[in-house]
């Protein structure tokens, strides 16, 4: 039984209004008036059209909702509440007449219903009259007023739900009142059944979501759980399996269903039956007997779940070493159910469905007709069994588009005489699916859970396998049988699990090779290398004409023009301007004669680190100045000039870099701010990463959710970031558990600018506790009351922040559930810490955690977000005996993207990673060496047909290559590990990612240091040239001893001494 029930077990589908009070356990709700008006019109239209046939010619009808209950039950009164108002109102009486709608309820409920007055008037011309029952009143006075108003409206026939027994004092009093009201009373159950039968678009969507959850539980939880129990020969009771399955339904993320847990519930406790005791009714229960899975046994599993109160159902039968009778009966049942689904056609009678079932059974196995269930299912929706849509031979109602059905078919109490055990002799079979009659015919909403024979028949008995294999399995090849992931043979559990995983991976390999072949054949991954992107450069112009040059100083000194970003150098008596962007490096040095030298090296085309740009291509025939040196006695002036040039270069480079980054940005839509009527959701006291640039103290900011996006802003007017909902690819909420921060993280589709930084990842966080340092130096006792109180405060603060972030994410999910954002498929994802592992994605070790759709690391920068759907394969490298660590290479479907590496993963995490990859249907390979992936991908893109002909990705299969030494030697020639290139690639990626979070000053200082080490004449070469020139002019040079001493002094400063006690670093192997 689910721990939480909303009213009569029906979940609310109304919209939270954000208020404090209301009728929903401290949460305020508002009624969807547009939906109310549309459905009220449908109600009155159906009543008018079928008044005599279905509504008993009633002039008014009453629907009384009983008190809330924790029991699972389905009442038409509750269904009408949810269908019409969007929420169940317990202990409320509704009376519908032609001109009035009466509501008898408490004051709190009346405040919510008050808003429907205008909508009811516009929709059906009815006046809404609300009768408030005060505290301490029994409601008798209000009931008399309602009945008197009905009689005054010339009502002589009153309809009510005769099949619903009154519960509680209010409804018992009302039941007595209507019997003594002096009017004829009739049952209107059939009218409401017909009203609920055809679902609108929103209702169909709820049924489909519920069916998806149900099928996901069967596929991703029930089947693996049964396989584990049987494989490991565990003793587990039916009731224990029921409890675990119910928890899986209530936690959709466990079964890979992106649904909000508060919107889901069970339709009935999950049913597990085996061992000869079978009951095919949904009211059956799972007993405390252990699951029975001996040879020739049958296991029946049924699961029903609800989404926004709309029901769905699925049932599967599993055969263990099936005998011929069981196999034949299952095949006939499968054909009969497929015939029933095919017979669901708008315009046809409901009885035709059961006739289609009966004809199949009579044709293929007439001896099984007595054991066939008397119906093929029922309608399904707000009620698990819609009474007017039972799929039996007597129902002549006509099916319509929009109806939904639980097509449930079974054989009851079949006997297998050849089985000796009583638990094997008696068996039953059951199949059930949820089907919606769409515009293109019946849509089986639970088809992701297979019911084919090969997927539900398990074989353990090798000696009798050939003799007792079902016909369908006889027709399949031995290879297909080996590929089936449900074939379990080994008695050793660990080996058996590995074998199942290996078979699943083999199937994934086949599918992946076919998918890759189709994509390459269709040109899905283009040729060429897009890794190096050249930035556009504008023409460098310092001065447009000579008259713009500043007036030269009398002493012809080097000048810096900050306004025009130019350096004016005195050359042959004239001031020659150079744009600062043409300067490659600038430095200065002094000699022993107190002379200071400034040396400027320029960018010229054709040299290393100076690629051709638009300016060099435009002036190909020009003569370039490579370098220039000046000597001065004024060392202070030289130092100032060098500092000014470097500062100006840094400013220009930063501006041009930002301009180039902004030029590549995708134009975003404008943020629509919430108005005064709709207050935006706010989350305050947040830090942002990457941080805004600039000096000074960083400011806390606030994140607001507006109409079509988020806005983060601080107290500084220029510190503002807008994130559109349409630009969000993934959203994450990571609570503070073992970390010091609680995180809201957005991974974007297109880059945006945060300050001066271009990024695809924007993170907002709050520190859950302050860093405290004990200045006393002494150790505090663990039993110190102050220490205990401080720890409790920290825990309370962490829990409070986590709850605040969780509430914000939950309310944003409500916004994303609105119809205009449905196509974005956005929902906050939460990392699954239990599946995490340590590794080195960039430069440092980090804890990497999977989510339902990504692989992330959100705590340390640079961030890591890899979408699982974009992964082609994963290669686990350096896997072998004796290795403490291994590496993970992630190859993307877009072969233009560089392979992403996660290094130094502990070998202890290998099995859990392989299991995770297998459960997420990602094909992985293992190799003993690191591979150089860039030439491999280039070879695949250049000749995709040869790649497919050679077996696709199978060259990575370590087991296969071990068996063919010749082939492996030949293939290894093209796939040798690289020690240099792979590392340089990862370093490039690291430096690129790091630029998103490091400060501008650090980047510029590093670039300057690197640039000053670039090629140019050394000071020794310049000194040697000067000495030769002096000798030619007859000037005495320094003595040889002085030059040697000066040379030794220079080298002594620049050459590092040996490190004491340290070993040389070993080159990192890729």
Which pLDDT value is given to residue 331? Answer: 94
More confident position, 566 or 745: 745
**Chain segment 937-952, per-residue pLDDT in tens:** 999 888 888 888 888 8
Find out whether the peptide bond into 104 is cis, omega within 30 degrees of 0: no
Looking at residue 504, its pLDDT comes to: 85
Q: Which of 144-153, 643-652, 973-982 has the lowest mean pLDDT?
A: 973-982
Residue 12 gets the label, from left (phi > 0), alpha (psi -120 to 50) or beta, of beta
Lowest-pLDDT range of 581-590, 669-678, 765-774: 765-774
Q: Quickly tell me which residue has 């928890």 as its tokens.
A: 247
**pLDDT per residue as tens digits for the range 377-432:** 999 999 999 988 999 999 999 999 999 999 999 999 898 876 666 777 889 999 99
* Alpha-helical regions (H) of 581-680: 614-618, 635-663
Mean pLDDT check: name the lowest of 4-8, 682-686, 847-851.
Answer: 4-8
Run of H or E including 826? none
Among candidate residues 635, 1, 643, the one with its CA nearest the CA of residue 269:
1
pLDDT for 419: 65
Nearest to 475 by CA among 459, 451, 453, 460: 453
More confident residue, 1026 or 1032: 1026
Residue 1008 pLDDT class (50, 70, 90 cuts): very low
pLDDT digits 0-9 by tens, 713-727: 998 888 899 999 999
The answer to whether 512 and 872 have CB atoms below 8 angstroms apart is yes
pLDDT of 717: 85
Alpha carbons within 13 A on the beta-carbon side of 173: 15
pLDDT band at 780 (very low <50, low <70, confident <90, very high): low
State how far the Cα of 145 lies from the Cα of 127, in Å rounded to an integer. Answer: 15
Strands 92-97 and 60-65: antiparallel
Torsion angles phi and psi, residue 788, rounded to 5: -65, -40
Residues 292 and 313: their CA atoms lie apart, in Å, by 24
Supply the pLDDT for residue 554.
62
> What spatial distance separates the first Cα and last Cα of the chain, rounded to whole Å?
54
The pLDDT of residue 461: 56
Q: Residue 688: which of 677, 678, 702, 676 has the closest Cα? A: 702
For residue 97, the model assigns a pLDDT of 93
Would the pLDDT of 512 be above 90?
no
Half-sphere exposure of 459 (CA within 13 A, CB side): 21
Calculate mean pLDDT across residues 905-924: 93
pLDDT at 1030: 67
What is the per-residue pLDDT for 96?
95
Contact 36, 84 (CB under 8 A): yes
The secondary structure element, H or E, covering residue 512 is helix 493-521
Give percent above pLDDT 70 in the chain. 77
Confidence of residue 145 (pLDDT cuts 50, 70, 90): very high
pLDDT tier for residue 503 given thresholds of 50, 70 and 90:
confident
| Residues of the chain above pLDDT 90, percent | 44
Lowest-confidence pick of 214-218, 477-481, 617-621:
477-481
Summarize the confidence of residues 800-813 as an average pLDDT.
92
Judge whether residue 1070 has pLDDT over 70: no
Average pLDDT, the chain: 80
| Confidence (pLDDT) at 46 | 93
Lowest mean pLDDT among 229-243, 1020-1034, 1047-1061: 1047-1061
pLDDT at 493 over 70: no
List CB contacts of 217: < 8 A, sequence separation 6 or more.
245, 248, 249, 255, 303, 305
Angle at 751 between CA 750 and CA 754, to 5 degrees: 145
Could you report the per-residue pLDDT of 436-487, keeping only the tens digit for each?
A: 998 888 999 999 999 998 889 887 654 444 444 444 334 334 334 433 434 4
Q: What is the pLDDT confidence band of residue 489, given thresholds at 50, 70 and 90?
A: very low
What pLDDT score was predicted for residue 613?
56
Instruction: Report the distance separating Cα 557 and Cα 579, nearest Å.
Output: 17
Q: What pLDDT was estimated at residue 779? A: 57
Q: What pLDDT is stored for residue 664 in this prediction?
A: 66
Closest CA to 44 of 158, 202, 191, 163: 191
Which residue is listed with tokens 């409920």? 109
d(C-alpha 548, C-alpha 645), whole Å: 20
Residue 234 half-sphere exposure toward CB, CA atoms < 13 A: 14
CB 899 within 8 A of CB 891: yes
Please tell me the predicted confidence (pLDDT) of residue 268: 93
Give the per-residue pLDDT at 132: 93
Cβ proximity of 88 and 105 under 8 Å: no
What is the CB neighbour count within 10 angstroms for residue 617? Answer: 9
Q: So what's the pLDDT on residue 814?
A: 87
Model confidence at 527: pLDDT above 60: no
Q: How confident is the model at residue 819 (pLDDT cuts 50, 70, 90)?
A: confident
The rounded radius of gyration (Å) of the Cα atoms in the chain is: 39
- The 3-state DSSP class for residue 88 equals coil
Task: At 865, give phi and psi (nearest 5°).
Answer: -140, 110
CA atoms within 13 A on the CB side of 1053: 5
Choice among 64-68, 253-257, 492-496 with the minimum mean pLDDT: 492-496
pLDDT digits (tens, 9 = 90+) for 992-1007: 443 333 444 444 444 4
Reply yes or no on whether the pLDDT at 1042 is more than 80. Answer: no
pLDDT for position 626: 86
Handedness of CA 48, 52, 54, 55 (dihedral sign): positive
Q: Which of 402, 355, 378 is nearest to 202 (CA)?
A: 402
């Amino acid at each position: 039984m689910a721990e939480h029930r909303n009213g009569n077990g029906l979940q609310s589908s109304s919209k939270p209004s954000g208020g404090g009070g209301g009728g929903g356990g401290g949460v305020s709700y508002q009624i969807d008036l547009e939906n109310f008006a549309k459905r009220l019109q449908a109600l009155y239209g159906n009543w008018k059209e079928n008044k005599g046939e279905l509504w008993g010619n009633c002039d008014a009808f009453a629907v009384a909702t009983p008190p809330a209950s924790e029991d699972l039950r389905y009442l038409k009164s509750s269904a009408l509440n949810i269908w019409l108002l969007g929420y169940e109102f317990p202990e409320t009486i509704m009376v519908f007449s032609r001109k009035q709608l009466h509501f008898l309820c408490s004051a709190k409920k009346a405040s919510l219903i008050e808003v429907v007055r205008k909508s009811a008037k516009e929709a059906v011309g009815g006046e809404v009259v609300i009768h408030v029952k005060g505290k301490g009143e029994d409601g008798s006075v209000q009931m008399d007023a309602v009945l008197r108003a009905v009689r005054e409206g010339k009502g002589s026939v009153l309809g009510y739900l005769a099949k619903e027994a009154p519960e509680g004092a209010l409804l018992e009093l009302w039941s007595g009142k209507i019997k003594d009201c002096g009017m004829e009373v009739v049952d209107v159950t059939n009218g409401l059944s017909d009203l609920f039968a055809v679902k609108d678009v929103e209702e169909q969507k709820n049924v489909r979501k519920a069916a998806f959850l149900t099928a996901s539980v069967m596929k991703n939880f029930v089947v693996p759980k049964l396989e584990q129990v049987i494989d490991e020969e565990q003793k587990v009771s039916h009731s224990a399996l029921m409890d675990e399955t119910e928890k899986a339904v209530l936690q959709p993320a466990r079964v890979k269903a992106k649904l909000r847990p508060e919107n889901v519930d069970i339709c009935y406790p999950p049913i597990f039956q085996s061992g000869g005791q079978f009951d095919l009714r949904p009211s059956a229960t799972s007993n405390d007997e252990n699951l029975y899975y001996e040879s020739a046994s049958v296991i029946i599993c049924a699961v029903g779940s609800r989404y926004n109160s709309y029901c769905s159902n699925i049932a599967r039968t599993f055969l263990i070493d099936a005998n011929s009778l069981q196999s034949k009966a299952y095949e006939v049942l499968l054909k009969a159910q497929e015939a029933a689904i095919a017979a669901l056609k708008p315009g046809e009678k409901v009885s035709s469905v059961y006739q289609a079932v009966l004809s199949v059974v009579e044709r293929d196995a007439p001896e099984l007709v007595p054991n066939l269930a008397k119906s093929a299912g029922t309608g399904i929706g707000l009620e698990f069994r819609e009474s007017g849509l039972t799929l039996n031979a007597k129902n002549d109602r006509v099916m319509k588009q929009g109806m939904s059905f639980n097509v449930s078919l079974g054989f009851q109490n079949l006997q297998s005489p050849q089985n000796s055990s009583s638990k094997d002799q008696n068996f039953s079979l059951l199949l059930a699916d949820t089907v919606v009659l769409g515009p293109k015919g019946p849509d089986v909403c639970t088809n992701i859970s297979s019911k084919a024979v090969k997927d539900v028949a398990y074989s353990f008995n090798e000696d009798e396998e050939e003799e007792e294999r079902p016909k369908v399995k006889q027709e399949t090849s031995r290879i297909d049988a080996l590929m089936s992931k449900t074939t379990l043979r080994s008695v050793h559990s660990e080996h058996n699990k590995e074998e199942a995983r290996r078979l699943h991976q083999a199937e994934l390999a086949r599918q992946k090779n076919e998918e890759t072949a189709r994509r390459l054949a269709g040109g899905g991954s283009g040729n060429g290398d897009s890794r190096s992107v050249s930035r556009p450069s504008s023409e460098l112009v310092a001065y447009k004409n000579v008259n713009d040059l500043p007036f030269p100083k009398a002493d012809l000194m080097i000048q810096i023009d900050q306004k025009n970003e130019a350096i004016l150098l005195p050359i042959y008596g004239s001031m020659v301007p150079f744009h600062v962007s043409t300067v490659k490096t600038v430095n200065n040095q002094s000699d022993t004669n107190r002379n200071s030298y400034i040396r400027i090296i320029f960018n010229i085309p054709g040299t290393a680190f100076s690629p051709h740009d638009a300016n060099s291509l435009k002036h190909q025939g020009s003569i370039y100045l490579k370098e220039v040196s000046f000597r001065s006695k004024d060392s202070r002036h030289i130092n100032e000039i060098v500092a000014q040039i470097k500062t100006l270069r840094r400013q220009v480079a930063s501006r041009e870099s930002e301009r180039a980054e902004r030029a590549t940005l995708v134009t975003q839509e404008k943020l629509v701010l919430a108005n005064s009527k709709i207050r935006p959701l706010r989350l305050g006291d947040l830090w942002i990463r990457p941080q805004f640039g600039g000096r000074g103290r960083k400011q806390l900011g606030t994140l607001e959710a507006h109409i079509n996006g988020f806005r983060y802003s601080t107290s500084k007017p220029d510190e503002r970031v807008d994130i559109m909902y349409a630009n969000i690819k993934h959203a994450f909420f990571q609570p503070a558990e073992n970390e010091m921060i609680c995180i809201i993280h957005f991974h974007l589709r297109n880059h945006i600018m945060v300050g001066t930084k271009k990024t695809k990842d924007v993170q907002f966080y709050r520190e859950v506790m302050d860093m405290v340092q004990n200045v006393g130096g002494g150790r505090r006792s663990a039993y110190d009351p102050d220490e205990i109180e401080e720890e409790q405060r920290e825990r309370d603060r962490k829990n409070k922040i986590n709850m605040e972030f969780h509430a914000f994410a939950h309310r944003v999910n409500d916004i994303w559930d609105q119809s205009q954002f449905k196509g974005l498929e956005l929902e906050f994802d939460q990392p699954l810490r239990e599946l995490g592992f340590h590794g080195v994605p960039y430069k440092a070790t980090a804890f990497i955690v999977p989510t339902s759709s990504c692989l992330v690391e959100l705590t340390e920068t640079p961030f890591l977000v890899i979408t699982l759907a974009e992964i082609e394969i994963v290669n686990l490298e350096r896997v072998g005996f004796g290795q403490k660590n291994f590496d993970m290479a992630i190859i993307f479907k877009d072969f233009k993207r560089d392979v992403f590496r996660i290094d130094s993963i502990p070998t202890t995490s290998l099995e859990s990673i392989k299991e995770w990859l297998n459960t997420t249907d990602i094909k992985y390979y293992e190799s003993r060496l690191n591979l150089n992936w860039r030439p491999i991908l280039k070879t695949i893109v250049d000749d995709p047909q040869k790649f497919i002909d050679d077996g696709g990705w199978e060259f990575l299969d370590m087991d296969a290559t071990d068996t063919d030494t010749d082939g492996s030697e030949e293939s290894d020639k093209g796939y040798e590990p690289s020690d240099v290139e792979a590392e340089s690639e990862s370093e490039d990626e690291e430096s690129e990612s790091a630029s998103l979070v490091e400060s501008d000053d650090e980047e510029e200082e590093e670039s300057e240091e690197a640039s000053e080490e670039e090629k140019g004449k050394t000071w020794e070469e310049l000194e040697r040239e000067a000495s030769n020139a002096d000798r030619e002019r007859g000037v005495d040079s320094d003595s040889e001893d002085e030059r040697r001493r000066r040379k030794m002094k220079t080298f002594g400063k620049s050459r590092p001494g040996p490190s004491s006690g340290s070993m040389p670093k070993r080159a990192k192997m890729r």
